[in-house]
Structure 1
Amino acid sequence: MLVILWIVGALIALVVVALFLLPVFIDTNELVALADEMVGEATGGELRVLGEADFSVFPRLSLNLGEATLTIPPADDTESRIEAKITQLDFGLAILPLLTGRTEVDAMNLSGVNVTITEAVATPEIPVPDDLEDLSDREWEQLGRALRKEREAKRKEMTGATVVSSGLVVAVDAVVLEDVSLTLLDSSGKETLNVAIPLFKVSDVNTEERPITIDGRARLQSPDATPINLSIDGDVRVASNLTDIKVIAVNTRLTGVLSGPIDSTLSGAVTLLPLHADFDLTTALPGGSVSGDLTFAALESPQILVSFESESLNLDQLTPPASSASGKATPVTETEADSSSESAPEGAKPSTAGSTAAASSPATPAPPVPLPVGPLRALDLDLSLGANELIAGGQTITGALLKLRVLDGIADFSQIQGVLHGGQLNTEMVINARRAEVEASIEGGLGGFQIESLLASLDQTDTARGRVDMKWEVETAGQTAQALQVGLDGDLTVEGSNVVVEKVSVQGVMCSAAALINQDQLSHDFGTETALDTVLVEVEFDDGYAEIDPVKLTTAGVSMTGEGRIVLANLDLELELGAKLYEALAEQDEACRIREGYETIKWPVSCEGNLKGDPASWCGLDTDSLAEQVIRNEAKSQLRKQTEKIGSEIGEKAGDVLKGLFGD
């Protein structure tokens, strides 16, 4: 036994002496040359060390590398050129603790790293994947079930495996990345993106469940765009089995994406095998705060499970920064704004708004942008959002509830509920993103909402008051937002009673017109309001139009009916209304009496404009049509009188003839 101990001791001593003497026999320059040769064989590039390079083995394995450059030229026109420069690399590892299964690293410092990537001159041909466009809906669902079944089998296999401790203990004082920069250039050498990491530091890296501290900052900059800044700090714990990670608290701040900063706090647990993460997330946005649970399970369905709550969330404030880094904003030209008129249905009148500006502007309208629905095809998401107050498009929804399930390329908004303008909003929407042409359908209604609340939200106060119901059932399809708008197909109905129109009395206006015809004067004050007993508007979407038929409005002594259309491509409106007067109007004022022969006259109101414009200028009395009706009725009246007179004379003479023939 003593001999064996002596032998073991001698071997250990020999190893120790060898470790001491090994650096003496190692030529650092030869190591650098060997590394350069390996880089050349693997990439065709060149590695050059311009500064000092120190290498030692015992008692610590250490590497100190001064300034170095790496250049990887493109093999052809379809590959990018990569140039990298490193100012300093320091690495130190304790040798003896490795014998006990413990890895001790003083620190790893990497600083002054500059990487420049110049994109290829020619775009490489990308292999076209299996075309999902040809799959039927049934085949989509079969494919989805097969993938989920495969994931479930993998999950059970990993869950059933016994996780044992690796026995590996890692202890690193710090990993530091400092002054790191990545620059992307186009083929002409113009910068397209710069990513700068001033500092990223991970302290006390260990597998003994002690807190590991993370601290970092990064900046993304594109030409003529607001820079995006990210900061992160927090603590995590890693178990000895290397599969369980506890996120104690990680705080992030993101600026340059929205009009204000995005501050988030994340805590929870992560299991690597199989990958499953449960987080508590709180995020402060420019328009409010949301908090809730976030789960990601790579081998489960849904893969992403989100449940958020918010006291108040203003979606209108979730907008990009107001200006770019250069201070230049790209204006939307009138040409771009009216470009949709080019796709208006045949026979539709193009919008004239902004035509003068468009004529003087040489700008070319940007081509339509395809809808970014690609990610929906691979997404497996279950989302629930509740908000006491949700603001969108200037409209406030209280008690808002949104439920969304995305699976197999279908986004199903099964619940969109809340109170909007005092009415109950309840609707559903389904988006089919399985093919390039997106299909969407929406069905629901808004019951008993207050007109005055809606108009006030549109900055039109003191216009009307009362409650109406709105129902819709529409569908559409297209590859762009404009195509979805033009492709609407379905019905919309607005119906109400006891609605009051303010600032105008329809009875007064019509009575004044009747009094002129009667050559009389009004004696009754009709006030400045109109109480509508009936409000009915039915809209049918089809062939690029919103056909309005009918429009029915009734009030005491007056009824108005009509029809019209809206061009969906540019929202131009044409509407013709006919008002009819009844004897009930004369009961309020004798001057409003309907003269004999005028009962059939429809007082024509013609409306024309654009829904984006001022409604005050849309409508007016069609005096030409009214004059034609009056003249026609006067002519009929005169002709009737002459006919009756002639008929009376003929009748008398015919009677005399008959009397002469047949006697008394």
Structure 2
Amino acid sequence: MLRILAYIIGIPLLLLLLAVVLVPLLVDEQRLVTMAADAVEERSGARITVHGDAGLALFPRVALNLGDTEVNLPDPGQPEIRVGTLAVEVRLWPLFTGEVAITGIELNNLEITVPAAEVPATPENRSLTDAELDRFFEARRRARREAAESAAGGALALPMALNIQRLQISDARITLLQADDAEPVIIEIESLSAQGLNLDGEPVPLSLRLRVAGEPVVLLDLDATFSVDGEQQQLMLREADAELSGATPQPLQLQANGTVDLETRKADLELVLRSGDMRGDGTLRYAGFESPQIDATLQLNLLDPALLLLAGPDAATAETEKTGNGADTGDAPLPLDALRLADTRADITVDRAVIEPHTITDLHLQLRALEGVVTLDTITGAVHGGQLDATATLNARRSIAQLDTRGEFKGLDTAQLLAALDADPVLTGNASANWELTSAGRTRNELVQGLLGEVQLTTADIVLQQMGIERMLCEVVAQVNQESLQAQLPARTEFETLTATIKLGEGEALLAPLRAELAHVALRGDGRLDLATTEFRADFRAQLGSGLAEVDPACRVNERITSIAWPVVCKGELGGEPGEWCRVDSREILQALAKGELERQVKKEGGKLLQKLLDRTQPKEEQQ
């Protein structure tokens, strides 16, 4: 923003210098234009050419008018400047004494074309090799150092020193050329006005209305009061009210005050933010030639996409160019370009963060983004009735992004989670987990499919609706007992405990071991979940307890029934009908029972035969 203000206010000042030289020489228009141009070139190195008329108007006000004026700056790669009309209002009486008292300056149809920056263009995340990315980051560091050394901090000094009562710019257009023949960024200034410019620390009101062409169009409306200390090269922003629309879903309103060092391009600001229902305040330090470039501490009542602006101007521009209005299916490239340009440190607390479809309260984030590496040292908050505590690092320095995360959540309410996912409330209870995961990819789906690591899951008071495992087992037991169930058993499953070790890899989640305890049944098994399709299959072996008869007399068990493992197979798709997920393999059970009965009979008959053989071998006197 400081750079743009320098172009808007600072560059046209050379035209003002031309006017100061021209006014006392109102004799021969061609002669005075030539003399003034030579004087300006001698003082600034800039070459000024007036293609239009130059003259003095006495009505309705005394003013020097210049038409179609071109400014060529001395250094290569500098902006091209052209102004349609320059009007310099002066007091009439001082002219007779050879003095110039400027009361107002108007610039109309100002055109500024800024060449593409020498900083390397944003790297395409699918095209550059790792070695090329290393050279890219080194070139950016070098460009920043060079820019700091060559920074001209006195851009605002000249207009302020002229003590102009009124400065007015209208219908101005700034064209920021981009590297690699990319579409330029067009900034249209509808109006800029300032009153009482001075370097003595007196308040200066400023009003600015501009628009940035594109899709969507970005509009900025700014009203501010500032003062400048010429000796210290410091601008004091006493009060600023701005509204930015088009960059965020709802207009972003900003209030700010603080100090700006014009020489080093540093700003220390206190902020108040508003966007829709979002409210926030905090501090922000901007240092154009230092790292971090942006250092922010913010407290918000609601997380808003406007926070993307904290990535910095380069990153925000890159992200705007990369994102569209279509729905995100997960296959769109990650915003690696924006991450590689960000240089930010932020400490953010949010009362309520909506990250569709989840809501996190009391969210606290501490992050650092530098040269493509985004590190979140702190991610804490309350989510779906549980507590989240995690860390994460996304490394975009390489051609393929690397994700590392570890953490835990405790006491998550499964019913709240399902409600957030718009799923049927088929599961209630609490779940806790801890994880340590890694992944790599260029899209969100690639990161999900590439997850590697382990998750430990534990639960408490879990109830699965629409599926009664004990009822299914009781039905089979009743068939074995050749009886009918007397009670209407519930179509739900109440777990006393449910734990799993989840190993992620190759786009699947392997649940092994998977353990569950019911009141009268113990389940042991393993399963697989496809992360892309959410299809799953789990195979359990159920051990029935003697207390199963408490559920229904027809469910009574004996040693034969409790001695075998009852196979339970569950498969389906998460979000489907739980009542159709699981079944008991009664055929296998009956085969196992039949085999067990045969073995028992063999043992029984074998025992009788052995006893008979023993009886035959004993002496008769022993038998007696």
The two structures have a TM-score, normalised by structure 2, of 0.72
Q: Match of 1:8?
A: none
Query: Residue 490 of structure 1: CA displacement?
Result: 1.2
Q: Indicate yes or no: 2:569 matched with 1:605.
A: yes
Q: Do the aligned partners of 1:443 and 1:473 also contact (CA within 8 Å) in 2?
A: yes
Q: Indicate yes or no: 2:282 matched with 1:292.
A: yes
Q: Do the aligned partners of 1:258 and 1:318 also contact (CA within 8 Å) in 2?
A: no
SS at match of 1:241: coil
Question: How far apart are the structure 2 equivalents of 1:411 and 1:475?
Answer: 15
Q: Match of 2:302?
A: 313
Amino acid at match of 1:602: W
Q: Match of 2:469?
A: 506
Which residue of the other structure, out of 103, 107, 110, is the alignment partner of 1:106? Answer: 103
Q: Indicate yes or no: 2:219 matched with 1:219.
A: no
Question: How far apart are the structure 2 equivalents of 1:443 and 1:331?
Answer: 32
Q: Indicate yes or no: 2:138 matched with 1:179.
A: no
Q: Do the aligned partners of 1:209 and 1:239 also contact (CA within 8 Å) in 2?
A: yes
Q: Match of 2:13?
A: none
Change (3 A) 1:236 1:127: closer
Alignment of structure 1 residues 207-606 onto 2, 5 Å = 207-222=199-214, 225-241=215-231, 243-298=233-288, 302-310=292-300, 312-315=301-304, 337=329, 368-372=332-336, 375-376=339-340, 379=343, 381-407=344-370, 409-460=372-423, 463-502=426-465, 504-527=467-490, 530-594=493-557, 597-599=560-562, 600-606=564-570
CA RMSD of aligned residues (A): 5.4
Q: Match of 1:64?
A: 66
Change (3 A) 1:409 1:448: same
Change (3 A) 1:95 1:300: farther
Q: Do the aligned partners of 1:499 and 1:531 also contact (CA within 8 Å) in 2?
A: yes
Change (3 A) 1:508 1:319: farther
Q: Do the aligned partners of 1:234 and 1:250 also contact (CA within 8 Å) in 2?
A: yes
Q: Do the aligned partners of 1:518 and 1:595 also contact (CA within 8 Å) in 2?
A: no
Q: Do the aligned partners of 1:425 and 1:445 also contact (CA within 8 Å) in 2?
A: yes
Question: How far apart are the structure 1 equivalents of 2:122 and 2:428?
Answer: 61
Question: How far apart are the structure 2 equivalents of 1:616 and 1:218?
Answer: 55
Amino acid at match of 1:240: G
Change (3 A) 1:377 1:450: same
Question: How far apart are the structure 2 equivalents of 1:402 and 1:640?
Answer: 65
Question: How far apart are the structure 2 equivalents of 1:550 and 1:117?
Answer: 64
Change (3 A) 1:201 1:655: same
SS at match of 1:171: coil
Question: How far apart are the structure 2 equivalents of 1:181 and 1:237?
Answer: 26
Change (3 A) 1:211 1:440: same
Q: Match of 1:620?
A: 581
Q: Do the aligned partners of 2:56 and 2:65 also contact (CA within 8 Å) in 1?
A: yes
Q: Indicate yes or no: 2:189 matched with 1:197.
A: yes
Query: Residue 217 of structure 1: CA displacement?
Result: 1.9
Amino acid at match of 1:205: L
Change (3 A) 1:93 1:607: farther
- Percent identity for Structure 1 against Structure 2: 22
SS at match of 2:475: helix
Q: 1:524-581 CA distances to partner (integer Å, 9 max, x unpaired)?
A: 4544654321110221122332222122221111222332223345544333344442
Q: Match of 1:23?
A: 28
Query: Residue 471 of structure 1: CA displacement?
Result: 0.8
Query: Residue 308 of structure 1: CA displacement?
Result: 0.8
Change (3 A) 1:571 1:221: farther
Change (3 A) 1:480 1:103: farther
Q: Do the aligned partners of 2:539 and 2:567 also contact (CA within 8 Å) in 1?
A: no
Greater CA deviation, 229-238 or 300-309?
300-309
Q: Indicate yes or no: 2:595 matched with 1:636.
A: yes
Amino acid at match of 1:615: G
Query: Residue 386 of structure 1: CA displacement?
Result: 1.7
Question: How far apart are the structure 2 equivalents of 1:84 and 1:114?
Answer: 6
Count of aligned pairs between the two proteins = 555
Unaligned ranges ≥5, structure 2: 1-20, 39-45, 72-76, 310-323
Q: Match of 1:350?
A: none
Query: Residue 435 of structure 1: CA displacement?
Result: 2.3
Question: How far apart are the structure 2 equivalents of 1:135 and 1:56?
Answer: 58
Q: 1:370-409 CA distances to partner (integer Å, 9 max, x unpaired)?
A: 4425544662x33111233333334333332211234565
Change (3 A) 1:594 1:405: same
Query: Residue 447 of structure 1: CA displacement?
Result: 1.9
Q: 1:82-104 CA distances to partner (integer Å, 9 max, x unpaired)?
A: 99996533235789999x9x985
Amino acid at match of 1:270: V
